[in-house]
Chains A and B, each alone.
Chain A
Amino acid sequence: MGSRGLLGVLAGVLLLMGCHRPASMSIAESGKTRLVYWTAPNPDELALARELVAEWMAANPDVEVVVQPIPAGQSSEEVLLAAVAAGTTPDLCSNIWPGIVEDFVEAGALVPLDQFPDFDSLLDARIPETVRASFRSRDGHFYQLPWKTNPVMMFYNVQLLREAGLEQPPRTYGEYLEAARRIVADTDGDGLLDRWMGYRDIRPIWWQRYFDYYAFYIAASGGRTLFDRQGNLAIDTMASNRVFAFFARLYAMGAFPKAVWTSGGSRFIQEQLATDFTGPWHLIWLEKNAPPDLTYDVAPIPVPDDHEGPVYTYGDYKNIVIFSTTQHPEVAWRLARFLVSRKADRRLLERTRQIPVRRGLLDDPYFAPVFERYPILRHFAAQAAYTRSVDSVPDLKEILDALAQEFEAAAVYGVRSPAEATRRALRRIQMILDWNA
């Protein structure tokens, strides 16, 4: 019995080894060139990608493209990193967050795109000269093709604001705080607040800060990011302090609840929140879930009272890259070019309400019908020109995490002064940079 048991175990192990998936092959049996294209896993985007790729394949019969959602893990970044480590990256991916690109570049995982002769003109059609630098990697090459951006803006409940005597959405901190004073209330009189000015997930999760601290910092600083063009840490301390102070006021006065809502769904559609800071993808969700009598609109995020000039915000860029594991960079580039064509851009706008990175989007008559149909999208398209991404530096995630920690301490719990919070964040970020030098 003993030896048989052992054999059984061995057989089982062998069986499992058989289950292990082999690396994806590049040449299909049919002799066609085969590309693997990873896209965001949400159903709308996946369907759109399938559709576009089908069209492209009809025009390029010699190529077979396999569209796969990025295998779901905790986050796309982790999955992609694991794939890079294991050498199982696809040929092409369209859902790359710029903050991760520098890590991939260092790992030699990406194909430089500026080697393709038409790259420059393509880039020019998408972004103004001024923001070019933020997509350039530290070695001087471009590895990402800007695809879409989702500016963080303020959704607001028109009805609630009107009831509070506000015909216009609050534009400055002062106006916002004043509105909060009027709106926050205990409507059912049970002694607990049940209507707030807004809500943010208070857990110190770094990407949650895109929608409060980071977007507000970009706005308050007039469009600066954390690093300057030379890649040196250059936080606008005053802007940072002001953002911390603003949120500290909001939490201290109860305008934002100090809670983590894990159940009960969105309070914005239940008219318990006057404002909500998020991106245009939220539109589809609202269309599906909001009651018909909910009236909402979109405005730029509030800025300090003495602010001048346009209001910048965080634009959640998602870009296209070609991985160096590909055996057909030229073919992949052809597909990438198609994915940022006008036609593809319009479909993206129409189907997912996300904003393609393209200059003159609002002036181009080709896109006009979409804006006719979804007028609210205009706000986002207009804002898209005034967006900033994240910096192309290593360990960006941990740097944002350091800010998230201070946001929690200074703004949510108010245990630290805004200046102290900025100082501590700077110190930790400096430690990370020193360590990484």
Chain B
Amino acid sequence: MRRLGLYLLLGIGLVGFAYPFVWMGIATFTPEAEIPELTLLPSRWTLEHYRLVFERIPVWRGLLNSLVVALAVTASVLVFTSMAAYALAKLHWRGRETVFSLILFTLMIPFLLLLIPLYTLVVRLGWTDSLLGLIVPFMMNATGVLILRQSFLTIPRDLIDAARMDGCGELRILFTIVWPLSVPALVTVGLLTFIGSWNEVLWPIIVVREVQWMTLPQLVALFAVGGGAEGQLGPQLAAAFLLALPIVLAYLFFQRYFIQSFATSGLKG
């Protein structure tokens, strides 16, 4: 009996968290007039909303831009922050603690304070209206350093010494010995970075004003705010659905791994 109550509560939660998505998915195929209905079964299915979205915003181009940006940022964060994290976790050098404190300090500063100068910097570098402006400022990230450092600390020193004795340089140790042993942390940092980059809207809105270089979330946000949908709900939802789809698929694929490592290695640092 108690068990039943438990499942009932969980089920209510499930409806609360999942139903809006299901509704949204179905609404994108529902004729405009029927969208506000509660029912999940429209009288007929339509691709009209998607047709409009594809007609109004360059979905493929946006997808490509988003993908290039998110992948480049993620790859760079993994490579460079793991280098820094390795140096902080496994090498001894003067100033190490200072650098570590500095990285912790950067976490305390709200991004907003840097937003304007960073924008002017990007303007000065001539990176507005280019993907560079979206990628380069985010090629490193302090959270990544913290998570990776925490994970690298658990790797025995002897293992790294053994690799040195075997003839590895530090970079090779990092990529051939440390990386294979830190997959959960790398997946966590990778996914966090990817999702963060994929979902970022504020920065692209500021830096990119040419449709050609806009990322998908930016296009969708402007489409929704800027009236590209002509006040119609279906196309807005369809655009939003298109935006959510890749990340949801990626999430479902990595989900088990992700949540687990997120909870354990994630934010304990």
A residues near B, CB below 8 A? 1-3, 5-6, 8-9, 12-13, 16-17, 19-21, 71-74, 78-79, 82, 85-86, 261-265
Main secondary structure of the interface of B (DSSP, over half): helix
Q: When chains A and B are docked, how far (Å) is the Cα of A21 from the Cα of B126? A: 10
Q: Which residues of A contact B131 (CB under 8 A)?
A: 16, 19
* Contact call A16/B130, Cβ cutoff below 8 A: yes
Which of A8, A73, A86, A265 sits near B230, CB closer than 8 Å? Answer: A265
Which one of B129, B135, B211 has the highest number of Cβ atoms from chain A below 10 Å of its Cβ?
B129
Q: Which residues of B contact A12 (CB under 8 A)?
A: 72, 75
Which of B171, B225, B233 sits near A2, CB closer than 8 Å? Answer: B171
List, sorted by A's number, 14 A–B pairs whose CB atoms are closer than 8 Å.
A5-B75, A8-B75, A13-B135, A17-B132, A71-B209, A71-B211, A73-B209, A74-B205, A74-B209, A78-B209, A82-B209, A262-B231, A263-B32, A263-B232
Which of B79, B123, B135, B172 sits near A86, CB closer than 8 Å? Answer: B123
Interface size of B by CB at 8 A reads 33
User: How far, in Å, is B59 (CB) from chain A's closest CB?
Assistant: 15
* Contact call B79/A5, Cβ cutoff below 8 A: yes
User: How far, in Å, is A12 (CB) from chain B's closest CB?
Assistant: 6
Chain B residue at minimum C-beta to C-beta distance from A82: B209
- B222 contacts A by Cβ under 8 Å: yes
* Contact call A263/B209, Cβ cutoff below 8 A: no
User: How far, in Å, is B121 (CB) from chain A's closest CB?
Assistant: 13
Closest 8 CB pairs of A and B: A2-B175, A73-B209, A20-B130, A263-B233, A71-B210, A2-B171, A16-B131, A79-B209
User: How far, in Å, is A40 (CB) from chain B's closest CB?
Assistant: 15
Main secondary structure of the interface of A (DSSP, over half): helix
Residues 168-182 of B contacting A (Cβ, < 8 Å) = 171-172, 174-176
* Contact call A1/B226, Cβ cutoff below 8 A: no
What does the 1/0 interface line of B160-201 toward A look like (CB < 8 Å)?
Answer: 000000000001101110000000000000000000000000
- B128 contacts A by Cβ under 8 Å: yes
- B100 contacts A by Cβ under 8 Å: no
- B76 contacts A by Cβ under 8 Å: yes
Which of A9, A16, A82 sits near B79, CB closer than 8 Å? Answer: A9
Q: When chains A and B are docked, how far (Å) is the Cα of A5 from the Cα of B175? A: 10
Chain B residue at minimum C-beta to C-beta distance from A263: B233
User: How far, in Å, is B129 (CB) from chain A's closest CB?
Assistant: 7
Q: When chains A and B are docked, how far (Å) is the Cα of A82 from the Cα of B119? A: 11
Given contacts A2-B175, A16-B131, contact A265 B231 (CB under 8 A): yes
User: Apart from A2-B175, A82-B129, what are 9 other A-B pairs with CB-CB below 8 Å?
Assistant: A2-B174, A9-B79, A12-B72, A13-B135, A20-B132, A21-B129, A86-B129, A263-B232, A264-B231
User: How far, in Å, is A13 (CB) from chain B's closest CB?
Assistant: 7
User: How far, in Å, is A412 (CB) from chain B's closest CB?
Assistant: 20
User: How far, in Å, is B212 (CB) from chain A's closest CB?
Assistant: 8
Q: When chains A and B are docked, how far (Å) is the Cα of A6 from the Cα of B76? A: 8
Chain B residue at minimum C-beta to C-beta distance from A17: B132
- B142 contacts A by Cβ under 8 Å: no
Q: Which residues of A contact B230 (CB under 8 A)?
A: 265
Q: Which residues of A contact B205 (CB under 8 A)?
A: 74
Which one of B135, B174, B222, B231 has the highest number of Cβ atoms from chain A below 10 Å of its Cβ?
B231
* Contact call A6/B32, Cβ cutoff below 8 A: no
- B127 contacts A by Cβ under 8 Å: yes
Residues 21-57 of B contacting A (Cβ, < 8 Å) = 32, 35
Residues 72-118 of B contacting A (Cβ, < 8 Å) = 72, 75-76, 79
Q: When chains A and B are docked, how far (Å) is the Cα of A3 from the Cα of B68? A: 21
* Contact call A1/B211, Cβ cutoff below 8 A: no
Q: Which residues of B contact A263 (CB under 8 A)?
A: 32, 35, 231-233
Chain A residue at minimum C-beta to C-beta distance from B120: A85
Given contacts A12-B72, A79-B209, A261-B231, contact A2 B172 (CB under 8 A): yes
Q: When chains A and B are docked, how far (Å) is the Cα of A3 from the Cα of B174? A: 11
Q: Which residues of A contact B171 (CB under 8 A)?
A: 2-3
